[in-house]
Amino acid sequence: MILALALFFVVMASVTVGIFVLRIWWLPEQVSAHGGAIDQQLILTLTIAGIVFFLAQVALSYVLWRFRARGDKRASYWHENSTLELTWTLATAALFVGLGVLGNRVWANYLFSQEVPDVTTVEVTGQQFAWNIRYPGVDNTFGRTDPALINDAQANYLGLDSKDKASRDDVMTQNIMAVPVNRPIRVILRSKDVTHSFHVPQLRVKQDAVPGMAIRVHFTALRTGEYEIACAELCGMQHYKMRGRLLVMEDADFRTWLKSRIEF
């Protein structure tokens, strides 16, 4: 029985590590300029965790077998080993702090990287249970909004003030966000009601949208295609329905798409 249990732990550890080594269940394709550094950090973390996990299971299996009961002899053990406990505690702390520092550096390089002048700005406002997308139009200025003017029945989800000149060429869509490929994109995240989370796995972008705050994230998509915009924060009974589409287009196609939606 003890041998079977020891073999179970070794086999379980081998299968678990093998799933990641062979990438049977793996990350979605990476299509952003900053995503490579995030993936490298994640792979480093998984590699170290996988090695520690495998060695721990092998050690557990060895201890089960080595100190098992034999006949009338009871299973043996020792009460403590201060040297071993101090060693693995310090080693765990060093790995934990080291990975934390490396991960923080990757995050800081992304979060505080300088944005180039030629950037496309898009405002994304979450609400139960949809994404409201707004572009500033040809004047590159967002129009004034007023919460008193919000009227979902008339598709004025943000309370856009039609009397404001800057708002006349603003482009609004719901659950459809188009961006040009190979161009820096600045996203201004807002929320109308509760906390949502703007998540595009292929871009390696995930940021909460918090009521009362305007939170900026940025990315550069490197490949055209259609990707899902998910809400990664439980936001209500119909949270599962809060899905949008990100369309990454060639620059000319994006300009045509945007121009066709400008109403004067």
Strand 243-249 to strand 176-180: parallel, antiparallel, or no bridges (unpaired)?
parallel
Residue 173 placed within a domain: yes
206-257: pLDDT as tens digits: 999 999 999 999 999 999 999 999 999 999 999 999 999 999 999 999 999 9
Look at the chain and count its residues. 264
Q: Are residues 186 and 255 in the same domain?
A: yes
Residues 92 and 15 in one domain: yes
Report the alpha-carbon distance of residue 208 to residue 49 in Å, rounded. Answer: 27
> What whole-number distance in Å separates Cα of residue 14 and Cα of residue 57?
9
pLDDT at position 125 is 96
Note the pLDDT of residue 24: 85
What are the residue ranges in the chain where pLDDT is below 50?
Answer: 264
Question: Domain range holding 209?
Answer: 120-259
Structure tokens at 258: 């945007």
Q: How many domains, in total, are found in the chain?
A: 2
Predicted pLDDT of residue 116:
67
For 45-64, the DSSP string reads HHHHHHHHHHHHHHHHHHHH
Q: How far apart are the first and last CA of the chain?
A: 79
Instruction: Provide the token pair at 55.
Output: 């060695």
